[in-house]
């Protein structure tokens, strides 16, 4: 009897260990999905053009997940091998630190948090379990360690000089990928404006003010208040400007967008979004605000998922890109996939040449394609990142 109980205990322990080891991978497989499809046909003209492009993507939440960015994975949407397959030269990697249950586009509070469960399930350091700031810093460490391990494959971009070096390397035929650290929601400041400097010192150069809920800076596009910037939010924006940190207004309320445009003279970005006139989704802000962002020299990153473009097919993504160009001009439109962000997409980053194909089919000029696919981002970062 004792032997039976002992072996039963061993079996249960083995089962628990197996569940713990397999759970992170399972969670991502059911969260970051790709719509089943036949291989996309890429014409020779599109393939040749795509090889010449500097391709950049303003938003992928890859650092949140339990896998190495350096290794090819069978799950999720982005890793360095697949970025190289897609000829993607620059990827912005935001740190996600808190996300409410439901994550709907209409109304959320900050009373719940799914990321805490994910952090524990993925066996992140204990210091990250109760601190949003530490979660951001840990994701920075992940990217820096990957770049230090394989500098010929991945480099962390922090300055305008780094952009010039990346452009030079790509022109020379090197396949190194640049990774720029961002953050999705400054609730990670934990109410302390000095933590803007802490995040900057850790390599963060783009910061989104909000995610799916209102925070101490002001209202989220998906919160309950629809409020503008608080006095704390104004203080944070001023500190970001002083450090040449790029402000990302994705997920911010329309009132916050207006307040930021009044406060800062620097251009801003909306890293991952759609355009209201092309997809009337609660995820997308009014077209008039998009025009104001563009007039100030800003960038609008078009996403690849249904909440942004209504239908995640490559053709639909390109329709939103066309609408955005017609609305704000080709100099202000970029790619903002929202890969690995709990999204279902029709192509992963290795397949991004399908956008070049669809833009050619839709009659885009080569100049428009080059700008949207990455030249706009390269020029923007070379102007507005810290010099060195």
CATH (domain of 260)? 3.20.20.140
The pair of three-digit structure tokens given for residue 363, joined into one six-digit string? 């009659």
Cα atoms in the 13 Å half-sphere on the side-chain side of 18: 6
In this structure, are residues 219 and 228 in contact, taking their beta carbons and an 8 Å threshold? yes
**In-domain check, residue 17:** no
Q: DSSP 3-state assignment of 267?
A: coil
Closest by CA to 344, choosing from 310, 386, 296, 301, is 310
pLDDT of residue 9: 54
**In-domain check, residue 55:** yes
Q: What is the mean pLDDT of each run of 10 residues along the chain (388 residues)?
A: 59 43 79 97 98 98 97 97 98 98 93 96 97 98 97 97 98 97 98 98 98 98 98 98 98 98 98 98 98 98 98 98 98 98 98 98 98 98 96
**CB 180: neighbour CB atoms within 10 A?**
26
Domain, as residue range, for 201: 32-384
Number of domains in the chain: 1
Name residues whose C-beta falls within 8 Å of residue 273's C-beta, 6 or more positions apart in sequence.
250, 283, 284, 285, 300, 301, 302, 303, 308, 336
pLDDT of residue 343: 97
| C-alpha–C-alpha distance, residues 157 and 166, integer Å | 8
Q: Residue 299: which H helix or E strand, with range? A: strand 299-302
Closest by CA to 282, choosing from 227, 226, 322, 326, is 226
**In-domain check, residue 16:** no
**In-domain check, residue 9:** no
pLDDT of residue 264: 97
pTM of the entire predicted model: 0.94
pLDDT of residue 388: 84
pLDDT of residue 25: 79
Q: How far is CA 383 from CA 245, 302, 377, in A?
A: 12, 21, 10
**In-domain check, residue 347:** yes
Closest by CA to 242, choosing from 208, 260, 265, is 265
The pair of three-digit structure tokens given for residue 174, joined into one six-digit string? 């090197």
**In-domain check, residue 14:** no
**In-domain check, residue 200:** yes
**In-domain check, residue 3:** no
């Amino acid at each position: 009897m004792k032997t039976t109980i002992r072996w039963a205990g061993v079996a249960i322990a083995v089962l628990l260990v197996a569940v713990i080891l397999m759970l992170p991978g399972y969670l991502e497989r059911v969260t970051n999905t790709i719509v089943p499809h036949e291989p996309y046909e890429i014409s020779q003209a599109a393939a040749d053009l795509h090889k010449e492009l500097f391709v950049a993507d303003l938003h992928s939440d890859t650092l949140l997940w339990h896998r190495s960015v350096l290794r090819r994975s069978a799950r999720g949407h982005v890793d360095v091998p697949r970025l190289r397959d897609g000829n993607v030269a620059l990827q912005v990697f935001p740190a996600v630190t808190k996300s409410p249950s439901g994550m709907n586009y209409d109304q959320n509070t900050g009373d719940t948090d799914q990321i805490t469960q994910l952090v524990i399930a993925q066996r992140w350091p204990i210091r990250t379990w109760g601190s949003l700031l530490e979660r951001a810093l840990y994701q920075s460490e992940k990217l820096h360690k990957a770049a230090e391990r394989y500098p010929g494959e991945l480099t962390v971009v922090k300055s305008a000089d780094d952009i010039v070096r990346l452009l030079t390397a790509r022109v020379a035929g090197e396949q190194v990928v640049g990774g720029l650290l961002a953050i999705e929601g400054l609730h990670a400041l934990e109410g302390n404006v000095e933590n803007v400097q802490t995040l900057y010192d850790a390599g963060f150069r783009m910061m989104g003010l909000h995610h799916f809920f209102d925070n101490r800076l002001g209202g989220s596009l998906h919160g309950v208040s629809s409020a503008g910037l608080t006095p704390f939010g104004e203080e944070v924006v001023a500190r970001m400007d002083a450090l040449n940190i790029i402000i990302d207004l994705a997920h911010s309320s329309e009132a916050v967008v207006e307040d930021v445009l009044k406060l800062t003279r620097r251009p801003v970005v909306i890293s991952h979004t759609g355009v209201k006139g092309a997809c009337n989704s609660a995820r997308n802000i009014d077209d008039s605000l998009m025009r104001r962002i563009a007039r100030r020299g800003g960038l609008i990153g078009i996403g690849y998922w249904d909440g942004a473009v209504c239908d995640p097919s490559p053709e639909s993504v390109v329709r939103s890109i066309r609408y955005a160009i017609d609305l704000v001009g080709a100099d202000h439109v970029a790619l903002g996939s929202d890969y690995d962000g709990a999204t279902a997409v029709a192509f992963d980053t290795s397949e991004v040449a399908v956008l070049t194909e669809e833009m050619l089919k839709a009659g885009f000029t080569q100049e428009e394609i080059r700008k949207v696919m990455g030249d706009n981002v390269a020029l923007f970062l070379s102007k507005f990142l810290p010099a060195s």
